[in-house]
């Protein structure tokens, strides 16, 4: 998220935190249930997706 510090300075940290929560909810709605969203720093997030390698490799064998 860009300009988070500007938002915090202009509207306060309470509003900045609310915006971060809203963004996290939107990201969560867009990714699979097997994903984990982590806030790295003020404006950086990472998405970790868990993959069942055995299941994926089995499906490749049937193609």
pLDDT at 25: 87
pLDDT band at 58 (very low <50, low <70, confident <90, very high): low
Q: Domain ranges for the chain, please list them.
A: 4-61
- Residue 57 CA: distances (Å) to CA of 16, 31, 51: 43, 22, 11
Global model pTM greater than 0.85:
no
pLDDT at 45: 83
Residues in the chain: 63
pLDDT band at 2 (very low <50, low <70, confident <90, very high): confident
- Reduced to 3 states (helix: H, G, I; strand: E, B; else coil), residue 41 is strand
The pLDDT of residue 43 is above 80: no
The pLDDT of residue 6 is above 80: yes
- Reduced to 3 states (helix: H, G, I; strand: E, B; else coil), residue 48 is strand
């Amino acid at each position: 998220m860009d300009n988070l510090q500007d938002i915090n300075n202009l509207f306060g940290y309470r509003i900045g935190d609310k915006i971060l929560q809203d963004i996290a909810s939107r990201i969560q709605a867009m990714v699979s249930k097997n994903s984990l969203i982590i806030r790295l720093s003020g404006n950086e997030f990472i998405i970790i997706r868990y993959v069942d390698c055995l299941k994926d490799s089995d499906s490749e064998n049937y193609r």
